[in-house]
Amino acid sequence: MRSPAITIASIHWGGNWDYQISKAQIEFTHKLIDEAGIDLIHGHSSHHVKGIEVYNGKLVLYGCGDFLNDYEGIGGYEEFRGDLSLMYFASLDPSNGKLVQMRMVPTRMNRFRVTRASDEEAIWLRNTLNRESQRFGTQVKFQEEDHSLLLLWD
């Protein structure tokens, strides 16, 4: 019988300011889940959101973006919207570590202060995540009632 503990791997990886997720990263995450029993992979480094996968029921966040950082004001990467981020609220089944629900609250950083993102910014995040997550079979839906994002997967 499985222990009720949830195991998370937090990995600083991948390039900054690009959306690429390498084949090696994908293979590594799958091995962490299949062979090491990891339940959730929290990838970070990119300074902006990247694609999301649900592999064998387990959540893989390839790039979470920055909730708060000291990169504000550095130019040349505006198309990645590093000022936008998400608060991730993942619910996992403690009996098997599988994802039950994933809700995300869009945020915006300005002058080292985190606030709720506007609806237009939330929709930009949704569209970006949908584009980057398509290869993994996941999709993000904008929830009008609370202005959050909801992850959908097969």
137 has a pLDDT exceeding 80 = yes
Q: What tens digit of pLDDT does each residue of 77-115 get?
A: 677 788 899 999 999 999 999 999 999 999 998 888 889
**What residue type is 91 in one-letter code?**
S
* Confidence band, pLDDT 50/70/90 cuts, at residue 2: low
Cβ 140 vs Cβ 104: under 8 Å = yes
The CA-based angle 10-92-25, given to 5 degrees, is 35
Q: Is the pTM of the predicted complex or chain greater than 0.85?
A: yes
Q: What tens digit of pLDDT does each residue of 70-86 get?
A: 666 677 767 778 889 99
Cα–Cα distance measured from residue 100 to residue 121, given in angstroms and rounded to the nearest whole number: 26
1 has a pLDDT exceeding 60 = no
Q: Give the model's pLDDT for residue 16.
A: 78
DSSP 33-86: HHHH---EEEEE-SSSB--EEEETTEEEES-B--SS-S-TT--S-GGG-TTEEE
* Confidence band, pLDDT 50/70/90 cuts, at residue 135: very high
Express the helix, strand and coil content of the chain in percent, nearest 5 each. 25, 35, 40
Which residue ranges make up each domain of the chain? Answer: 8-153
Q: Give the model's pLDDT for residue 70.
A: 64
Q: Give the model's pLDDT for residue 69.
A: 65
Q: Which residues contact 25 (CB under 8 A, 6 or more apart)?
A: 13, 14, 43, 62
Cα–Cα distance measured from residue 147 to residue 115, given in angstroms and rounded to the nearest whole number: 13
β-partners of residue 58 are: 55
Q: What tens digit of pLDDT does each residue of 11-70 get?
A: 988 777 788 999 999 999 999 999 999 999 999 878 789 999 999 999 999 998 876 666
Contacts 24+ apart (CB under 8 A), 118-124: 119/147, 121/81, 121/84, 122/147, 122/148, 122/149, 124/81, 124/84
